[in-house]
Homo-oligomer: A and B are copies of this chain.
């Protein structure tokens, strides 16, 4: 695994560049990511390019022996470009243009901007496509950040009509598929269809689902244009993009198809504060991040591509600037996060950013260096991580163990029509992932069409649309399969399927579903049905039954069906039983401890605020750390 750093030479006097490059190498960094917001410096006036500074910056980094990951600057089109075609601006759900003054102020569907995006990409690629320093390209930056996938602009509307016509052929088919007879929503032509925002009450969920698919496809199309140019003009370089955390607005499986390596940006503390974690977890892990945040995304994005190549393009190095509260990580966490990525198979971890900028929006975002050029705490931790990686040496890949199925349309469907406040397939997947990892298991998060050979068990936390490939793969799969609620509950056009859910994935009919407010529970022995319950007609066996007779889990052959929302206390016994049947060893991990096993090594990470011992039974020889692991500590054993 290589280490790298995000660097903005345009922010600093040229006199600092050589010294910066030297220090990067000194602490073991070999990659440097640059360029992704520099459009106004590359092309300060329409058509006038200034390559001089960038030529010199790349030369300087190259001279120091750093490989450059070069970003296309399309996330930040300059003001002169916006003023030349003001309707390139995206429109928010309330109908307001999202103006220049920060970033991502463009609409994916605007043909004019797509041309400009291709033009600047071509210009940069022509200049540096064959440069020996350039080892990879990043397209744009964090597609969708700041809620920018969906645009409710005239450009989006026109493109949506084309997309609908392609998908449905004729409008009668669309009316049928969406059930538009309901509420006289029938259309006579595609161009009668509006975008689904600003309706009196909720729009048809099939309308929303189509719009979200369309919006996702627009991201795919936008990205593909850059990829095609880069492949043509810069052969032999990897192409990547930096995905975000807990983000499902576009189908990452689709975008990943065009990439050589999936990148993502890992901010465990910011995510803990910003996403759906309990107040208790937010305090306990305030300085470590919840122990499964980074790992979940490592395993999710590794699964996006068949080859499984993936990079951390931005790694949190200290306090960030964008959460409601921004504490510093515990000493050691930056190193821990780096090695957790290593354990999950990353090829690269790149810290964001080299030096804290003293100006503009992110001036309170830490870097490896302070604004005054002195080392920030992460500087030494990055150096330590480089040494650790060397000390650990060559490593075998992880063996297949548990396959967890996640699809992006699952999350679209559950959030379009949650039926119970806050229910979502993404968080069902995350909770199932946590439950598996608390048992000490390795998990691969896979798309719904992925082959399952070689896995010991399979978990499908919540998959409303079950593709035929999955049914075929499951038919051939002999290990235990755990299927969560709402699976098989919708057609691809957001209707309840004939014959009722869940369809062929489990021999039952879901005849009624209920969502339950907090506090409305069906208690069992050490667990309870919460949030969601499904009533089944089935010949399957009731495996987990609440005190009042409510069935939380059904069993038929090697398959289990969870009729309750997959909360941790229900998942624990079900997954434990399934793992036992799968012949997979589990371990009762102390709170905050997490393992990751490769064929050659076992990694143990302590996210708890107190020292934790590796449980007996985890064998191997310590090559790093001790059995009693301090907070933010790591131990590595060889088998």
Which A residues are closer than 8 A to B by beta carbons? 8, 10-11, 37-41, 44-45, 73, 76-80, 83, 90, 94-105, 145-146, 148, 178-188, 192, 194, 196-207, 273, 279, 282-283, 286, 318-319, 321, 324-328, 356-364, 366, 370-372, 374, 376-377, 417, 419-421, 494-500, 509, 511-517, 519-520
Contacts and interface: CB of A to CB of B under 8 A. Distances in A.
A72 to B, nearest CB: 12
A496 B326 contact: no
Given A102-B203, A319-B513, A364-B513, 20 more contacts: A11-B179, A39-B184, A41-B181, A73-B184, A80-B192, A90-B200, A182-B361, A203-B361, A206-B360, A279-B519, A283-B520, A319-B515, A324-B420, A326-B419, A327-B517, A358-B495, A359-B494, A366-B512, A372-B499, A376-B511
Given A364-B419, A496-B371, A511-B374, A37 B182 contact: yes
Tell which of A76, A102, A511 has the most Cβ of chain B within 10 Å.
A102
A104 B520 contact: no
B372 A512 contact: no
Instruction: Give the oligomeric copy count.
Output: 3
B96 A198 contact: yes
B515 A358 contact: no
A360 B204 contact: yes
A199 B39 contact: no
Given A76-B183, A286-B517, A178 B359 contact: yes
Given A101-B204, A194-B100, A184 B370 contact: no
B104 A201 contact: yes
Contact of A205 (B203, B363, B513): B363
A83 B200 contact: no
B515 A326 contact: yes
A180 B105 CA distance: 16
Nearest to A324: B421
Contacts of A497: 358
A458 to B, nearest CB: 28
Contacts of A520: 283, 286, 325, 327
Nearest to A328: B514
A513 B365 CA distance: 10
Contacts of A362: 182
A318 B197 CA distance: 29
A184 B421 contact: no
A494 B182 CA distance: 43
B183 A360 contact: yes
A181 B372 CA distance: 19
Which 9 A-B pairs give the minimum distances between C-beta atoms? A179-B359, A182-B360, A40-B184, A358-B496, A101-B199, A76-B184, A325-B517, A179-B360, A146-B201
A186 to B, nearest CB: 4
A379 to B, nearest CB: 12
Given A96-B198, A318-B512, A359-B495, A185 B101 contact: yes
Given A200-B103, A319-B513, A357 B179 contact: yes
